[in-house]
Amino acid sequence: MSHIFKAVPEPVESSSRDLAASLGLPWHGTGMARLVIGRREWVALPDVGVGPLNAKTDSGARSSSIHAEDVELSDDELTVRFTTTNHYGKKIACQVAVARIARVRSSTGKARKRIFIQTTAELPGGFRWSIMISLANRSEMLCPMLLGRRALSGYFLIDPQGAHLLGPRRLLNFRLTD
């Protein structure tokens, strides 16, 4: 006879420390609640005027990136202009302050100089947080944006079997202007 077990979440009345102790697990003081997100989520970048974007969550990547074309760094290296494309194929011209310029090693092992911008990301349901994003040519990638572990750390747990767990793109507060 085979048994089927189904995990059902139930409210917990004890602290994270007490729960960890009852399960025999170490507690590291990181009891902050986390949002469960899928391997892909809808994201908007309202400060830059970009959205919606289908973003891949990748805990194996240190930094986040967004697809950028026609990248032009100002002579003083304080601002950058670039073009990106939203989910609907609309090209969006952006001009943003440069947060930093650093070398990034890709998954293929090649290190390249990348321009980083600091902006606000927004998810369906209205959750907003500040992230650092590098500009990269992601034209060959399925998702125009990648959320790396620095952007995910402290806020999220990833369910690799789920996608768009926080809701459909229509739930983004970001609205196209045009």
Can you give the CATH number for the domain in which 109 is found?
2.40.70.10
- Asked if the structure places residue 19 within a domain, the reply is no
What's the token pair of residue 68?
Answer: 């950028």
- For the chain, the domain total comes to 1
Question: How confident is the model over 76-119, as pLDDT tens digits?
Answer: 999 999 999 999 999 999 999 999 999 988 777 888 899 999 99
CA–CA dist 56, 70 (Å, integer): 23
What's the token pair of residue 85?
Answer: 């494309």
Cα atoms in the 13 Å half-sphere on the side-chain side of 5: 2
What's the token pair of residue 52?
Answer: 């919606």
Q: Judging by beta carbons within 10 Å of its beta carbon (0-12, 13-18, 19+), is residue 15 exposed, middle or buried?
A: exposed
* Residue 98 structural domain: 34-171
- Asked if the structure places residue 9 within a domain, the reply is no
Under-50 pLDDT residues of the chain = 5-8, 178
- Asked if the structure places residue 80 within a domain, the reply is yes
* pTM of the predicted protein model: 0.78
